[in-house]
């Protein structure tokens, strides 16, 4: 699957889907702005985001034209007025007159040559007890008032004013209009959280300064105030350190990059060198650019793990002191800094230069995913543990982080680390960024440490956005728009004294599988707007119906901004549930398939295919549809293996979106009792739920997962049941190739003691036939069915110390 090129209009999307699905459209494709813009009053089209504290719409309009004047009453207000003037000039061609009224007592006395004091946008800095980032915005038919007690408050007011203008204002091309209408409104607004951040990984794939500046612009537009710059990792060192030039000479370069997912059992590489780093002059330029947009830049320099690029440049700082390479794959690696005095002296030099470049009060040191094997093998570390009374490798990590914290404290900075830094004892004054879930933030806040909530399940925008098989490659997981929007950062049962330590929320864009700017845009938008509302708006102000009702207009604005947003929220999702049958245990249970879209106004269509393993149910080839396109109206009862192909259609008709597939298999084992010799690590319920996952993107939640253990499962049919076929789904085969089982054998029994072998797949058979293993045998009658699938185990790859075996279904006929 390749990422669609610039989607400035739906034509690109329609053509791509029509080619892949063979869809016939009743009408030609239209521009997205035409398709999505409904005939509504202007203020109903403009759902502001993030939602302000109070909004009162007025039935009047301000006409913004070439005669509109800007006034300001302070240096700070002047800065914002000039910023807005610069912003509107490309599209409007207007060059507003800017008037300093700081010496005037009555701002209403500003008049034009005809004595008229209207047609003015007033930028005023006023004294108040409001929060620093608060603002007041009022639009009448005569005048626009924008007031705040700080420059940043005025700046955020301007971001709202941008949204009140038609979406065309975002284009950098001139538009010939005599005037631009701004809807009457009165807004009082301020943010919920002080920390509203977004992260960018430039280590896995390097992004140039121009992209980084655009990224900062996007954060400012969404009223985010923190940019976390992930500058170092195993795959590349991206920041110039003058005292250690080899960091960028060697560490910023890797020979090639893995193609496909890093855990593929048959890894391929692109044979293309990847390199890049930021000079200190470029970093100063970016920091100044961000400051002008009220975005704080927090550097992340990862230690003690994720340091392969550092150790490739300076191997003497590892415990084994052997040469390593900048890593060409993604994941977690054993390379780790050794906790010697030489290492801490080296880190002192690095952090001194970093502190001088970044005025932020924070430095992020990573601290996550540290494999401690090299420490345990090190004589030096064993001696250190005795000297420092350290009883575990986790306490060694705590010792390391505390030493780094002391270095950072001496630089008048505060350490931020991922939640693993709590293991073994937390460093004094450290701020915890809770990424593995919410528990890290909860634990830190209860210990009176500040915390930033960044749980990957809700804030990592490198996950898949829909279940469409046309989604571009992502790391894994499922994070649709509504799931982002519904996230609540402060647990309801967290005591108030602890809740005050939740500083805010942090999103992340990791770039293992995001190589280009257009792909990054696709992953960010519109989910960034949902995350912005999580950060800015209070829970009682959030409303999914209001927010989703404005998505179409928001996507249009993104397009005028030249962005490549995702339309995944319009894709339909199909789900299946078991329908309980009667007492006849020998009958296959039925399934009920339902379809829905996050945006409820969409029209859903589907057609059906025969799955690749179910030829006996139909004479038609599985490549040909069993049914033609038909509208979805209510839940569908399914009595035979079926693949559903699902698309959605815009309300005006014509345009189809997405390509979601769901393969379901009603069979005799649905709802039956199943027992395991080794319980799966997760996903027990996926074994007999009737849903196949081989045609889905990779999501661990679609599978029962066994790590370094065999699948050895026994199904109890309650009474003797005639069986002749077992089908197993063993990996997705779509976006991530997993390890098939080494050997599979099927047994039958009536007493669960004496077992008769019914079918056997060798290693060669399993490797050849996955992702769906289809085993047929002569019809037999048994009460118990036993399935044994051998895990390949004994991994020689440190990337995968425990080999996973993924099973998504055991289908019995």
- Give 766's Cβ-side CA count (13 Å radius): 24
**Residue 88: which of 170, 208, 178, 199 has the closest Cα?**
170
Work out the angle at residue 367's Cα, subtended by the Cα atoms of residues 362 and 371, and round it to the nearest 5 degrees: 170
Residue 627: DSSP 8-state: S
Residue 810 DSSP SS3: strand
Exactly one of 76, 233, 302, 450 is catalytic; name it: 233
| Dihedral-angle region of residue 326 (phi above 0 means left; psi in -120 to 50 means alpha; beta otherwise) | beta
Say how many C-beta atoms besides its own lie within 10 A of residue 376's C-beta. Answer: 14
Residue 615 DSSP SS3: helix
* H-state helical runs in 420-550: 439-446, 456-459, 481-485, 496-499, 517-524, 527-536, 544-549
Tokens at residue 395, please?
């306490």
**Contact (Cβ atoms closer than 8 angstroms) between residue 145 and residue 188:** no
**Burial classification of residue 600, based on how many CB atoms lie within 10 Å of its CB (0-12 exposed, 13-18 middle, 19 or more buried):** exposed
Residue 673 DSSP SS3: strand
**Contact (Cβ atoms closer than 8 angstroms) between residue 537 and residue 156:** no
Exactly one of 306, 519, 735, 739 is catalytic; name it: 306
Pairing outcome for strands 431-434 and 414-418: parallel
201 is catalytic: no
Exactly one of 141, 369, 394, 712 is catalytic; name it: 369
d(CA 259, CA 272) in angstroms, rounded, equals: 11
- Give 37's Cβ-side CA count (13 Å radius): 13
Residue 525: DSSP 8-state: T
**Contact (Cβ atoms closer than 8 angstroms) between residue 396 and residue 381:** yes
Q: Where is 352: in which H helix or E strand?
A: helix 341-357
Strand runs (DSSP E) across 73-179, as ranges?
A: 97-100, 120-125, 135-139, 143-148
d(CA 293, CA 290) in angstroms, rounded, equals: 5
Residue 419 DSSP SS3: helix
512 is catalytic: no
Residue 26 DSSP SS3: coil
59 is catalytic: no
* Residue that the structure tokens 């959030």 belong to: 542
d(CA 3, CA 649) in angstroms, rounded, equals: 21
- Residues annotated as catalytic (active site), given as ranges: 233, 306, 369
């Amino acid at each position: 699957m390749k990422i669609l090129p610039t989607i400035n209009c739906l034509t690109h999307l329609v053509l791509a889907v029509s080619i892949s699905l063979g869809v016939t459209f009743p009408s030609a494709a239209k521009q997205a702005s035409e398709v999505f813009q409904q005939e509504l009053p202007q203020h109903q089209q403009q759902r502001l985001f993030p939602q302000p504290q109070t909004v009162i719409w007025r039935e009047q309009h301000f006409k913004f034209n070439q005669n509109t004047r800007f006034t300001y009453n302070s240096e700070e207000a002047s800065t914002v007025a000039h910023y807005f003037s610069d912003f509107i000039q490309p599209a409007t061609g207007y060059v507003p007159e800017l008037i300093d009224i700081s010496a005037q007592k009555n701002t209403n006395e500003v008049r034009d040559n005809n004595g008229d004091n209207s047609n003015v946008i007033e930028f005023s800095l006023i004294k108040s007890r409001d929060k620093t980032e608060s603002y007041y915005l009022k639009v009448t038919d005569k005048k626009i008032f924008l007031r705040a007690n700080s420059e940043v408050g005025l700046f955020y007011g301007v971001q709202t004013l941008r949204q009140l203008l038609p979406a065309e204002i975002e284009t950098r091309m001139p538009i010939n209009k005599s005037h631009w209408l701004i809807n009457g409104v009165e807004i009082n607004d301020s943010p919920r959280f002080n920390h509203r951040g977004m992260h960018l990984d430039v280590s896995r794939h390097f992004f140039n300064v121009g992209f980084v500046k655009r990224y900062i612009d996007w954060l400012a537009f969404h009223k985010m105030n923190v940019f976390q710059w992930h500058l170092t990792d195993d795959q590349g060192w991206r920041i110039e350190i003058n005292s250690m030039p080899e960091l960028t000479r060697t560490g910023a370069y890797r020979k090639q990059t893995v193609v496909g997912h890093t855990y593929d059992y048959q890894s391929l590489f692109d044979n293309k060198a990847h390199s890049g780093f930021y000079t200190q002059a470029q970093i100063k330029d970016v920091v100044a650019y961000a400051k002008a947009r009220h975005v704080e830049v927090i550097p992340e320099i990862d230690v003690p793990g994720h340091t392969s690029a550092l150790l490739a440049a300076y191997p003497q700082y590892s415990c084994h002191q052997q040469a390593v390479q900048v890593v060409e794959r993604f994941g977690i690696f054993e390379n780790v800094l050794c906790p010697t005095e030489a290492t801490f002296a080296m880190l002192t030099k690095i952090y001194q230069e970093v502190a001088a470049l970044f005025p932020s009060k924070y430095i992020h040191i990573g601290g996550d995913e540290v494999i401690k094997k090299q420490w345990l093998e090190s004589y030096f570390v064993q001696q250190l543990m005795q000297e420092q009374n350290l009883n575990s490798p986790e306490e060694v990590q705590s010792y390391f982080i505390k030493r780094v914290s002391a270095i950072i404290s001496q630089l008048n900075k505060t350490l931020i680390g991922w939640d693993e830094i709590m293991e073994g004892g937390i460093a004094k004054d450290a701020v915890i960024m809770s990424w593995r879930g919410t528990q890290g933030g909860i634990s830190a806040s209860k210990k009176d440490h500040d915390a930033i909530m960044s749980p990957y399940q809700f804030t990592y925008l490198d996950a898949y956005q829909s279940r469409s098989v046309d989604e571009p490659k992502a790391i894994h997981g499922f994070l649709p728009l509504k799931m982002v929007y519904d996230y609540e950062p402060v647990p309801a049962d967290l005591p108030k004294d602890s809740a005050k330590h939740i500083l805010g929320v942090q999103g992340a864009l990791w770039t293992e599988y995001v190589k280009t700017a257009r792909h990054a845009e696709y992953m960010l938008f519109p989910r960034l707007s949902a995350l912005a509302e999580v950060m800015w708006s209070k829970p009682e102000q959030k409303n999914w119906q209001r927010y989703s009702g404005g998505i179409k207009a928001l996507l249009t604005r993104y397009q005028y901004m030249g962005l490549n947003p995702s339309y995944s929220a319009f894709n339909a999702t199909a789900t299946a549930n078991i329908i309980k049958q009667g007492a006849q245990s020998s009958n296959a249970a039925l399934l009920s398939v339902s379809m829905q879209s996050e945006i409820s106004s969409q029209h859903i269509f589907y057609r059906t295919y025969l799955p690749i393993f179910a030829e006996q149910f139909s004479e038609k080839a599985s490549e040909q549809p069993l049914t033609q396109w038909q509208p979805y109206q209510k839940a569908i009862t399914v009595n035979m293996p079926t693949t559903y192909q699902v698309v959605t259609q815009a309300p005006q008709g014509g345009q189809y979106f997405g390509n979601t597939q769901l393969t379901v298999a009603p069979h005799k084992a649905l709802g039956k009792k199943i027992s395991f010799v080794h319980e799966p690590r997760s996903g027990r319920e996926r074994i007999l739920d009737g849903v196949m996952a081989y045609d889905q993107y990779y999501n661990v939640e679609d599978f029962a997962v066994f790590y370094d253990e065999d699948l050895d499962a026994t199904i109890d049919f309650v009474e003797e049941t005639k069986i002749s076929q077992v089908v197993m789904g063993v990996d997705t085969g779509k976006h991530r190739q997993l390890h098939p089982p080494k050997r599979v054998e099927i047994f039958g029994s009536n007493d669960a003691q004496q077992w008769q072998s019914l079918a056997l797949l060798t290693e060669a058979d399993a490797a050849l036939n996955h992702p769906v293993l289809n085993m047929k045998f002569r019809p037999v009658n048994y009460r118990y069915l036993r399935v044994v699938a051998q895990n390949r185990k004994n991994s020689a790859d440190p990337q995968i110390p425990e080999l996973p075996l993924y099973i998504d279904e055991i289908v019995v006929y």
